[in-house]
Structure 1
Amino acid sequence: MTIGELADRFALRTHVLRHWEATGLLSPAERVNGRRRYSTRHIARVAMIVRGKAAGFSLEQLRAVLDASDAAERRVLLLEQRAELERRMEEIAASKTLIEHALECKAKDFTECPGFRKLVEQLANGPAVAPVETGELRGHLPG
């Protein structure tokens, strides 16, 4: 696979792959007639880099996982990354709950709505906001 084909496959620009090679994140491709040729091993590694970056991990964190000396070390790193993803997913779910309430709230100012304020209080008291049943708190006017 050429550099252009690999880049297209993951919606990347070719300079990104060159940068990853230069920094050691991606092993250099074999050269055929002076042109880079990537293997299935490269494809798998690029997939992990792309998905890891989308999940918010740094290139250094990804390098540590991809270049771990053994399976046990890799497992520890992956468990740490999974825990961080789970924490972020809880934060995203809490944000989504607040946004959904604001979208459906009938109050003139949703920040004055008792239901919204209850969600904010829950958020302040813990890491996650429990989803609210449709209509349970929505549409309440400040009282």
Structure 2
Amino acid sequence: MKIGDVSKNTKLPTSTIRYYEEKGLIQSSGRKGLTRTFSPGVVDRLALITLGRNAGLLLDDIRVMLLPDGVDIDRDRLLARADELDEKIKQMTAMRDGLRYAAACQAPNHMECKTFRRLLNIATKRWGRPSAHERN
């Protein structure tokens, strides 16, 4: 398959495909002129990489799981990531509930609302200040 065909099948930009090849996550099977070619199995491999990235795994974590002719899934790493996601879901649920309350609060000034002030206090203790990445 030409790199453009792989891109169409996976919905990944060719630059991402090239980057994954550079990082050793995938391998081209050769070239047809100046165009990289890949075996059809690269589509499944890219799907695994995409799944891992969407789950929040780092490329290094994913690379370790990818074997030349298959995968060796680190079940403990997946369970740890699932636990991290559970904690994030709890935090985001509390944040959502706080935002809904703040939006519905009838106090003339939210800073006068005891419940809203309690939410601010909880947010500061539980989550601290957002990182630069989270603020942007």
TM-score normalised by L of structure 2: 0.67
Shift of 1:90: 1.8
Q: Do structure 1's residue 89 and structure 2's residue 89 form an aligned pair?
A: yes
Alignment check: 8 A CA contact 1:102 1:116 kept: yes
Q: How does 1:61-76 map onto structure 2 within 5 Å?
A: 61-67=61-67, 74-76=74-76
Q: Secondary structure at the match of 2:41?
A: helix
Residue segments in structure 2 that go unaligned for 5+ positions in a row = 128-136
Shift of 1:100: 1.8
What amino acid is the match of 2:43? I
% of aligned pairs identical? Answer: 28
Q: Do structure 1's residue 113 and structure 2's residue 113 form an aligned pair?
A: yes
Q: Give the direction of change, closer, same or farther, for the CA distance of 1:23–1:70 in structure 2 (3 Å limit).
A: closer
Q: Structure 2: how far apart are the matches of 1:60 and 1:18?
A: 16
The alignment's C-alpha RMSD in Å is: 3.1
Q: Do structure 1's residue 24 and structure 2's residue 24 form an aligned pair?
A: yes
Q: Structure 1: how far apart are the matches of 2:56 and 2:90?
A: 14
Deviations 1:92-130 (A, max 9, x none): 222222222222222233343223234345556778xxx
Q: Structure 2: how far apart are the matches of 1:22 and 1:54?
A: 20
What amino acid is the match of 1:6? V
Q: Secondary structure at the match of 1:36?
A: strand
TM-score normalised by L of structure 1: 0.65
Q: Structure 2: how far apart are the matches of 1:36 and 1:105?
A: 58
Which residue is 1:130 aligned to?
A: none
Higher RCO, Cα 8 Å, sep 6+:
1
Shift of 1:37: 3.6
Which residue is 2:132 aligned to?
A: none
Deviations 1:37-68 (A, max 9, x none): 4445322222232233233322112223334x
Alignment check: 8 A CA contact 2:111 2:117 kept: yes
What is the total number of aligned residue pairs between the two structures? 124
Q: Structure 2: how far apart are the matches of 1:14 and 1:101?
A: 44
Q: How does 1:1-143 map onto structure 2 within 5 Å?
A: 1-26=1-26, 28-31=27-30, 33-34=32-33, 35-67=35-67, 74-120=74-120
Q: Structure 2: how far apart are the matches of 1:64 and 1:91?
A: 30
Q: Structure 2: how far apart are the matches of 1:32 and 1:14?
A: 15
